[in-house]
Amino acid sequence: EEEALIQSEKLSVAGQMAAGIAHEIRNPLTSLIGFSKFLKAKINQYHEYFDIMLVELDRINSIVQEFMALAKPQANQFKRHDLKKIIQNVLTLLETQAILRNVEIVLHAEADEAELLCDENQLKQVFVNVLKNAIEAMPNAGMITINMKLLQPHGFTVEIVDEGVGIPEDQLPKLGGPFFTTKDSGTGLGLMICYRIIEGHHGKMDISSAPGKGTTVTIFLPRNG
């Protein structure tokens, strides 16, 4: 309970920051990226420095984009959608990335009918973020199992099970906090966005993990948003 409270405080502080800052940074950033590319094309030396600048600018860009996604959930677009279709849609998006890493993704959908009131794009974002983490946790191939179950009478659970590196126990409380990442090119915002979106749907997300064996992310979503 206390942990959940801390989690949602982290969300609101970061959410306010996101709303204020992300837009302000985006425009100057776009011009910095544009002029760096332009100068790299015009100047016949220092290309390795331009490349470093572009990689770093790209990193700032992805942080800003994730922050803008954090700021978005205020404008909810709640409609009836089929949860299974949303997940299948996301799987199509991630197909190439999974194949490149020899990751197989299997979806077991127990419910024939899986309608729920939700913001489709936000839920897609949640599944993209969680599945990307699962793929990134398995550098040398593996399997991701998605179990979608009807939880009578009021909602659905989606379990995303990977066979990746896992998460050490002392890091579990840090998940979803701003900028917590263990990856060289991570932003540490993906899970924070997930928690925020799922909270906006009055759902719940739990992460359990066995280091060296894998991680299970369990998402509960109520039928009526």
Least separation in angstroms between CB 98 and Mg ion: 15
Report if residue 191 touches ligand ADP, rule: CB under 6 A: yes
How many alpha carbons lie under 13 Å from residue 43 in its C-beta half-sphere? 13
CA dist., res. 137 & res. 131, Å (int): 10
Least separation in angstroms between CB 82 and ligand ADP: 25
- DSSP code string of 57-95: HHHHHHHHHHHHHHHGGGS---EEEEHHHHHHHHHHHHH
Q: Which of residues 188-217 bind Mg ion (CB under 5 A)?
A: 190
Please name the residues in contact with 207: beta carbons below 8 A apart, sequence gap of 6 or more: 167, 172, 175, 191, 215, 216, 217, 218
Write out the two tokens for 59: 């990193």
Q: Which of residues 125-154 bind ligand ADP (CB under 6 A)?
A: 129, 133-134, 137
Write out the two tokens for 162: 């990977």
Interface residue with ligand ADP among 183, 206, 210, 213 (CB under 6 A) is: 183
Q: Which x/- pattern, by CB under 5 A, does the window 117-156 give for Mg ion?
A: ----------------x-----------------------
CA dist., res. 127 & res. 101, Å (int): 18
Number of residues interacting with Mg ion: please give it, by CB under 5 A.
2
Least separation in angstroms between CB 126 and ligand ADP: 11
Find which of Mg ion, ligand ADP, none residue 181 binds, CB within 5 to 8 Å per kind: ligand ADP
What SS3 class is residue 221?
A: strand
Query: Which residues contact Mg ion by CB under 5 A?
Result: 133, 190
Query: Which residues contact ligand ADP by CB under 6 A?
Result: 129, 133-134, 137, 162, 164-167, 175, 180-183, 186-191, 215
